[in-house]
Amino acid sequence: MTNYFAMDRKQLENEYQLLKKVYADYQAKGLKLDMSRGKPSPEQLDLSMEMLSITDYIGETGIDSRNYGNLEGMPEARKFFAQVLGAAPEEVIVGGNSSLNMMYYLVELGWRSGFVDSPRAWNAGKPKFICPCPGYDRHFRVTEYFGFELISVPMLPSGPDMDLVEEIVKDEEVKGIWCVPLYSNPDGYSYSDETVQRLAAMKTAAPDFKIFWDNAYCVHHVTDTPDRVLNILDECRKTGFEDRPLMFCSLSKVTFPGASVAAMAASKKNIEYILKNMFSMIISYDKFNQLRHVKFLKDMRGLAEHMEKHRQIIEPKFKMVLSIFEKELSDYSDLAHWTKPNGGYFISLYTKGVAKRTVQLCKDAGVVLTGAGAAYPYGIDPEDTNIRIAPTYPPLHELEIATHLLCVAVKMATVEKLLA
């Protein structure tokens, strides 16, 4: 086993010269690969092209989806997403193509007016939000945009560090927490039963504390042993806090990110309050697209069958990245470690404090990765360790080249740091 940390300076210099030659070969290839975001590949997008031929615009209750009205969404779409989210149809709002847009609106609603259980608007104080990290950068941007203080808590394989969370929520200015419960972005971790139950039962100083439960990868499995997570709305009902969770999902990575359907679920009281406030903003979302998606996917069985087609495309990419990491990095003592998720869209690679330099080396050789630090509040990874790997978009042969380059870059950056 090679151990850079046990080498003397002469050994490190010799190793660095060897690595530079390999790296120069990659630079000479003229690569132009982008792995910066978790996007479906063109092959995945093609799986849903048949949906575009659906022109039936009349819903099962006779609603003309081309016209105004039904802000809450088409009835059949509410039924469909109720099954996806684990709620009743009357607890669901079906929106446009972006769940992030729905989350943004609800953060803004809390900030401007509060919620049904709020003694005052969130902006009346100095609001704070809990951010498990590494996490989804766009979540953090939303709350940062509205001026929330972002409080980092570590993500563990079982979910956010609940000992810390339970202490933090004793502050009445702490208004919520971001959660990606199944196959978290970017680690691919899933919340344990204990974590979900503690989130549902914990005592919070703020009576209007909200759990933003972004179940973005709830049907995105890539192995035969998929993870399962408890239903947060059910658990909160058991503890008497049914107004606490706001649940979200979308079909962005099921059909088309640019023309998808998103939905949210919450208690009836929350849904009524949210619809009342949304009424001034919009008359209805794209109901024709909602109807088209339901007619295409049909039901949970149809959704599962469609996602199996995605898995056939995605799973080999995850396996290849993990295989290359194992071959290229496992024999280097303490050089790096990585997650091995059962689903989702990402793999986390953890370096020894050289994430920024590694990402820059890859960029200089023609491979763009997510910026180091992006998965942390304010874009700052305090230990400079995490690199988010998004394997889904590139073709297999390009992904293979990019992953080998990444391994070389990790080694080079580590040796550079030791020689500094």
pLDDT tens figures, 37-48: 899 999 999 999
Q: Are residues 268 and 161 part of one domain?
A: yes
How far is it, in rounded angstroms, from Cα 398 to Cα 331? Answer: 24
Tens digit of each residue's pLDDT (9 = 90 or more) over 319-340: 999 999 999 999 887 899 999 9
Q: Are residues 139 and 162 part of one domain?
A: yes
Does a structural domain hold residue 50? no
What average pLDDT does range 115-133 have in this prediction?
97
At which of 239, 274, 299 does a domain end? 299
Domain extent, residue 241, equals: 62-299
Q: Are residues 72 and 23 part of one domain?
A: no
Does a structural domain hold residue 268? yes
At which of 267, 299, 331 does a domain end? 299
Tens digit of each residue's pLDDT (9 = 90 or more) over 151-189: 999 999 999 999 999 999 999 999 999 999 999 999 999
The C-alpha angle with vertex 414 and arms to 408 and 420, in degrees rounded to 5, equals: 130
Does a structural domain hold residue 170? yes
Does a structural domain hold residue 120? yes
* Model pLDDT, residue 294: 98
Residue 187 neighbours by CB under 8 Å, 6+ apart: 134, 155, 157, 339, 341, 346, 348
Q: Are residues 243 and 98 part of one domain?
A: yes
Please give the single-letter amino acid code of residue 352.
Answer: K
**For residue 186, cis peptide bond before it (omega within 30 degrees of 0):** yes
Q: Are residues 274 and 144 part of one domain?
A: yes
Q: Are residues 38 and 173 part of one domain?
A: no
Does a structural domain hold residue 83? yes
Query: Cα 82 to chain center, whole Å?
Result: 20
At which of 299, 318, 346 does a domain end? 299
Does a structural domain hold residue 54? no
**What is the CATH number for 274?**
3.40.640.10
Give the number of residues written for the chain: 420
Q: Are residues 257 and 185 part of one domain?
A: yes
* Model pLDDT, residue 397: 95
* Model pLDDT, residue 333: 79
Q: Are residues 295 and 310 part of one domain?
A: no
Q: Are residues 135 and 281 part of one domain?
A: yes
Does a structural domain hold residue 53? no
Q: What is the DSSP letter of 50?
A: G
Does a structural domain hold residue 326? yes
* Model pLDDT, residue 41: 97
Q: Are residues 311 and 261 part of one domain?
A: no
How many structural domains comprise the chain? 2
Q: Are residues 333 and 265 part of one domain?
A: no
Q: Are residues 192 and 78 part of one domain?
A: yes
What average pLDDT does range 73-80 have in this prediction?
98
How many helices, marked H, and strands, marked E, lie in the chain? 13, 13
**What is the CATH number for 347?**
3.90.1150.10
